[in-house]
């Protein structure tokens, strides 16, 4: 039976990280990976906050590791030198490839079937310590993260104006007449 759960957790925390963009976050993740030396580093395809889809790719670049994006399937044996993966491309095309390890992989939603943790597992996990690393522990300076270490700036966020839509009912002739009227109105407002 495969081993379930993990032995330890690591949390990176430093006030200077606040305001980091995806590139600054990737810099932190790469520093953790250099310290921990994993065979693989997994990231989501894109984050839920800004959805840049660049954190995994940037982490791979900082580490000089191979990267594959939008994985829907993965075959890997712990300690292996490579993994076989399937990626989802445009138009539903699937691409199967092999990648050398260590590697950074960005994972598509639905790659696995989540399992529910037992009450015993939850209690065991809660009792385990979480190692907290600072920027200093990772050989990073405050200027490497936060706004100073970020390569992008959010200029503004807003909800765009909503357009108008109208269902045109009636016979084909009535629909054509209504459409012509709408076009005349819009042409008149444009001049």
Q: Tens digit of pLDDT for each residue in 39-66? A: 999 888 776 666 678 889 999 999 999 9
Q: What is the mean pLDDT of residues 89-118?
A: 87
Strand ranges (DSSP E) for 37-170?
40-44, 67-75, 82-88, 94-100, 103-107, 130-133
Q: Tell me the helices (H) and strands (E) count for the chain, helix number first.
A: 5, 7
The predicted pLDDT at position 102 comes to: 96
More confident residue, 164 or 133: 133
The predicted pLDDT at position 121 comes to: 86
Q: What is the mean pLDDT of residues 88-111?
A: 88
pLDDT exceeding 90 applies to what percent of the chain? 49
- How far, in Å, CA of 64 to CA of 86, rounded? 22
Model pTM? Answer: 0.73
The predicted pLDDT at position 1 comes to: 35
The predicted pLDDT at position 189 comes to: 66
The predicted pLDDT at position 163 comes to: 78
Q: What is the mean pLDDT of residues 136-153?
A: 91
What integer best gives the mean pLDDT of the chain? 87
């Amino acid at each position: 039976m495969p081993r379930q759960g993990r032995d330890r957790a690591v949390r990176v925390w430093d006030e200077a990280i606040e305001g980091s963009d995806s590139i600054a976050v990737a810099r932190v993740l790469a520093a953790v990976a250099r310290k921990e030396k994993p065979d693989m580093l997994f990231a989501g395809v894109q984050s839920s906050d800004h959805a840049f889809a660049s954190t995994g790719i940037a982490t791979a670049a900082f580490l000089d590791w191979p990267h594959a994006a939008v994985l829907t399937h993965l075959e890997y044996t712990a300690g292996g030198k490579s993994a076989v993966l399937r990626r989802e491309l445009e138009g539903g095309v699937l691409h199967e490839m092999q990648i050398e390890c260590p590697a950074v992989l960005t994972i598509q939603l639905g790659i696995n079937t989540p399992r529910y943790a037992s009450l015993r597992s939850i209690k065991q996990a809660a009792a385990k310590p979480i190692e907290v690393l600072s920027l200093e522990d990772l050989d990073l300076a405050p200027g490497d993260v936060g706004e100073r270490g970020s390569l992008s700036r959010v200029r503004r966020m807003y909800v765009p104006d909503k357009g108008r839509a109208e269902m045109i009912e009636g016979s084909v002739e009535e629909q054509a007449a209504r459409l012509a009227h709408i076009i005349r109105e819009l042409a008149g407002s444009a001049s």
